[in-house]
Structure 1
Amino acid sequence: MLRENNKEIREKLFNEIKDLPIIDYHCHLSPKEIYLDEPFSDIGDLWLSYDHYKWRLMRSAGVDEKYITGKETTTKEKYTEFARVLARAFGNPVKEWVKMELKTYFSIDTPLNEKTADDIWEKTSQIIKENELSPRKLIKQSGVEYIATTDDVLDDLEYHEKLKDYEVKVAPTFRTDKLLEFKDVTYISLLANKTKIKMRGIESFEKAVKMRMDYFIAHDCKFSDIGIEDFPTKIASREEADLLIKDFLDKDALSKEDRERLQGYIFVFLGKLYAEKGIIMQLHLSSLRNPNMEMFNKLGRDTGFDSVGECVPARALSSVLNRIGEKKLPRTIVYTLNPTMYYQILTLAGSFPEVIPGMAWWFNDHERGIFEFLEKASELGHINGLIGMLTDSRSFLSYVRHTYFREILCDFLSQFYDGNNYSELLEVAKNLAYLNAKKLLKKRERMSVKKYMGIRSQKVNGL
């Protein structure tokens, strides 16, 4: 609940930033869907096809999985179950987001529940049909300026290429989760096939990764990302990494300790590569991936079953950052899914000028979580150095979360109003809502132009 103290200042700040453009520097939207731009069929399709936040809410309320991801149920049946659950989801941010989504995109103020569900279904269906509501129309209506999708190292980026003349910049992110898993040699074999490089050891592995990195940069990549649940506490030397890669290629397996040491080396190698190429490194820490093996076996990964993991040891994180920074540390954004790690990350960022604490993320991007993060970031560092909100979403309606964040940000800042510092408060509000992300991108664009002039005119291997 927003505070009544300095309500006038809070609302004045919000009115000045609410319509600023959106830079969505980390999301999971599909570039294919953006390119094809096919109209949605109904509100159930829009809400419940991909949105893990809504799926988790339904599961938490005891809804049968067939009404969440089941192919045997219609979108209307899923929507009806969602409406029933949402009416009683007091305190969950999804309830507020749905209210904002209905108001923003459909001009509907009626709360969603069992009694109103059919009427809202009919009204939204009519608007979707009459306006042929599609991904690009929602992006435009939301005021989005830049979208960084999440893309595997081996993705062909076909749709990014097709979107190069689209008015909104849609750029890939170099996501290395599968590259670092080392569960079996399948992924390395795919990397070898993609790059036409025979894998013999660490040198050929690094050459192939560099080739893919250059391919992403040729498609205007500015960000990298890693979100595996393990963070290395040991770092192999290059000689050790070469032996480990060779052993892995030969035996199709690594011990837990050897995998960790190899991951440590690859973390450092990638960080140094990002610094050389001018890529922003994102580290998403403390997630527990696929803890429910029964549901993982049924539905696969990325179906909304991940959870909060243990804190990453601060010494391990600082060791990796130090090894990467032996020459130069790339601009780095460090997020944690476990809020008990905020003090470690916020104070560690104060020790590494190139490191920015990542905004409250995933299970923490509710009102109290965002406010708590802003409090700690202000107390332990400088709030004006933060980048601002990210959606981390697969939903094209999720841009209301930027409005949600901006409201909370203005509420937080208004408590510091002393009668004479409105201009400073407004500067910080604008920076966290938009300008800091814009400046970060502009800096990387200048570096990219300087280092990679003509890269599009060259033949880039590794397609």
Structure 2
Amino acid sequence: MNFEITNTFITEDFLLETSIAKKLYYDYAKAMPIIDYHNHLSPQRIFSNIPFKNLYEAWLAEDHYKWRGMRANGIDEKYITGSASDSVKFKKWAETVPYTAGNPLFHWTHLELKRYFNIDKILQPNTAVEIYDTANEILQNKTPQQLLTDMNVEVVCTTDDPTNDLRYHQQIAKTNSKTKVFPTFRSDNLFLIEQDNFHHYLNKLSSTVDFSITNFEDFLNSIDNRIDFFHENGCRLSDFGVGASMHIVDYTIEKVNSIFKKRLEDKELSPQEINTYKSCLFNHLGRRYHEKKWVQQYHLGAIRNNNSRLLKEVGADVGCDSIGDYNFAEPMAKLFGNLDYENKLAKTITYNLNPSQNEVFATMMGNFNTGGIPGKMQWGSGWWYLDQKDGMEKQLTTLSNIGLLSRFVGMLTDSRSLLSFPRHEYFRRILCNFLGNIITKGELPNDVVFFGKMVQDISYNNAKKYFDFDS
């Protein structure tokens, strides 16, 4: 299927419906730098700074959003993650793109082609070769660091396991890269006590800290060791994203010691014992994050790797995750309440994947704000399946109704692709249009200077202050 008209729809006024929205975007939002405080970019790729071989490698090789769309279009796995050549896989993506109309992939695809390669044509079978060749020629002269600079990216925060040696972050810090690259302490593997490879992970952690882990005290000491190391290397954020649900129960250290010892002896744990262990770990990490003045992030609600066949054939994180339907209100209330009671609750951002829980998350975060830190408890931007126009607008509406939109720390890419940064432009256009429509209706004052400052704060200034990377 081809579009008859092949010129793009990405005009200067894309998504901007009112004169106020256009003024807010052009005069205030557009030029602001980008702080991308959560993504899955490769620090090794950024440090090596070697140009991509082609557009497929830069754009599709690790993008499970696109893979999922191609599978929905009936494309064989051979042309997605399989043995087909890069150019053939790209043509299969071009074949799929027209069918993504109405999906955010259609917007992202053409916004990225426009911003990185100044390509004004719709990607489809009859334009695929021309677009591929044009982009490949440009990519030959664009290093990863230059691609970040071109998008005015000031900071990126990668996602890193506690055992990561952070060598590439250290090396990037010694270069003249205009974009700062900081690690994020992703704690997921510390929680997976019920999994078969937990012993293997403990051995890896033990080797990393260079001392044996023979009991729970050793385990906590190893965690503290890694948090100190990450902090010394610029880390100011943690993240948690394992599993679909969380349970916070009462515990004693003696009980957790017993549970940990039982697991070291290869004995099976009950669900209650697993929850007790994880509850203790949540609280311990929360206290450490507060001590370090980090921001803690919780990505909640995904059911991962649902397709067991593809999990076996291709691996994890290949586009087979879904939205879960779980209770997070009570666990968040108990965890944040415990830490707040001890005056050890760090700055916190939560992200829900289930849109029916928007109000649940927004109201919960408002319960634990304190003096001295505007917007301390953040309900984060639309995440994963919700980081599209409708999801962003609903998030902005709910946050406006329940919290303080003006204190919001804004958008992130959560992406594995170095070509994903126009998503910040996408968000900023939606934000400006959201405010422009409300102002045009007379529901807010027609004060462009005031709301222009608010747009700049949400786009950049709030994140700059909140994360305090300069410290």
Give the TM-score of the pair, scaled to structure 2: 0.91
Q: Could you tell me which residue of structure 1 aligns to residue 447 of structure 2?
A: 421
Task: Say which of 339, 346, 353 aligns to 1:324.
Answer: 339
Partner AA of 1:411 in structure 2: N
The CA deviation string for residues 386-433 of structure 1, in whole angstroms up to 9 with x for no partner, is 110010000011000000000000010112324532222112211111
2:15/2:430 contact within 8 Å kept: no
Contact 1:311 1:341 in 2 (8 A): no
Matches within 5 A, 1:205-216: 205-216=219-230
Query: Which residue does 2:264 correspond to in 1?
Result: 249
Deviation at 1:28, TM superposition (A): 0.3
SS at match of 2:170: helix
Q: Which residue pairs with 1:459 in the alignment?
A: none
The residue aligned with 1:9 is 20
1:97 aligns with 2:97: no
Bigger Cα displacement from structure 2, 383-392 vs 198-207: 198-207
AA of the residue aligned to 2:222: A
Partners of 2:138 and 2:470 lie apart in 1 by 39
Q: Residue type of the partner of 1:126?
A: E
- The equivalent of 1:284 in structure 2 is 299
Corresponding residue for 2:5?
none
In 1, Cα distance between the equivalents of 2:16 and 2:386? Answer: 24
Asked if structure 2 preserves the Cα contact closer than 8 Å seen for 1:287 and 1:307, the reply is: yes
Alignment of 1:7-406 (within 5 A): 7-15=18-26, 16-70=28-82, 72-129=83-140, 132-165=141-174, 166-182=177-193, 183=195, 184-229=198-243, 230-251=245-266, 253-325=268-340, 326-353=342-369, 354-406=376-428
Given that 1:223 and 1:280 are in contact with CA atoms closer than 8 Å, whether structure 2 keeps it comes out as: yes
Amino acid in the other structure paired with 1:332: T
Match of 2:459 among 424, 433, 442: 433
Residue 331 of structure 1 deviates from its aligned partner by 0.2
CA distance in 2: counterparts of 1:84 and 1:20, whole angstroms: 35
Q: Distance in 2 between matches of 1:4 and 1:87?
A: 20
- Report how far residue 252 of structure 1 moved: 5.2
Aligned counterparts of 2:212 and 2:119: Cα–Cα separation in 1: 58
Deviation at 1:138, TM superposition (A): 0.6
CA shift for structure 1 position 243: 1.0
CA distance in 2 between counterparts of 1:4 and 1:441 reads 29
List gaps (5 residues or longer) in structure 1. Answer: 447-463
1:451 equivalent in structure 2: none
By how many angstroms is 1:45 displaced?
1.5
**Counterpart AA for 2:164:** D
Deviations 1:103-139 (A, max 9, x none): 111111011111111111222222223xx22211110
CA contact (8 A) 1:269 1:324 kept: no
Amino acid at match of 2:21: R
The DSSP-based 3-state class of the residue aligned with 1:228 is coil
In the TM superposition, residue 144 of structure 1 has moved relative to its aligned partner by 0.3
In structure 1, the partner of 2:3 is none
Question: In structure 2, how many angstroms separate the alpha carbons of the residues matched to 1:275 and 1:404?
Answer: 33
Query: How many Å separate the matches in 2 of 1:346 and 1:262?
Result: 28
> Which is further off, 391-400 or 433-442?
433-442
The amino acid that maps onto 1:195 is: V
After TM superposition, the structure 1 stretch with the greater mean CA deviation from structure 2, 248-257 or 109-118, is: 248-257
Local SS of the residue matching 2:154? strand
Q: Which amino acid aligns with 1:352?
A: F
Alpha-carbon distance in 2 for matches of 1:252, 1:10: 61
Match of 1:454 in 2: none
Q: Distance in 2 between matches of 1:5 and 1:331?
A: 33
Q: Secondary structure at the match of 1:265?
A: helix
Q: Deviations over 1:367-395 (max 9, x none)?
A: 01100110011111111121100100000
Q: Bigger CA drift: 343-352 or 250-259? A: 250-259
Q: What amino acid is the match of 2:452?
A: L
Give the whole-Å Cα distance in 1 for the aligned partners of 2:415 and 2:42.
Answer: 10
CA distance in 2, matches of 1:344, 1:369: 15
In structure 2, distance between residues paired with 1:259 and 1:42: 46
Runs of 4 or more, structure 1, over 4 Å off, are 1-6
Residue identity over aligned pairs, in percent, reads: 35
- Preserved CA contact (<8 Å) 1:201 1:243: no
Separation (CA, whole Å) in 1 of partners of 2:409 and 2:129: 40
SS of residue in 2 equivalent to 1:199: coil
CA distance in 1, matches of 2:229, 2:333: 30
Return 5+ residue gaps in structure 2 as ranges. 1-8, 370-375
Provide the rounded CA distance (Å) in 2 between the counterparts of 1:296 and 1:4: 38
- Superposed displacement of residue 445, structure 1: 4.6
Q: Is the 8 A contact 1:83 1:113 kept in 2?
A: yes
Q: Which amino acid aligns with 1:340?
A: S
2:201 aligned partner, one-letter code: Y
TM-score by length of 1: 0.92
Report how many residues are paired: 442
Q: Look up the equivalent residue of 2:355 and give its one-letter code.
A: P
Displacement of 1:6 in angstroms is: 6.2
Deviations 1:23-78 (A, max 9, x none): 000000000000001111111121111112111111121211111111x1111111
Q: Give deviations 1:87-117, integer Å, cap 9, x for gaps.
A: 1211111111111111111111011111111
For the residue of structure 2 that corresponds to 1:225, the secondary structure is strand
Partners of 1:252 and 1:412 in 2: CA distance: 55
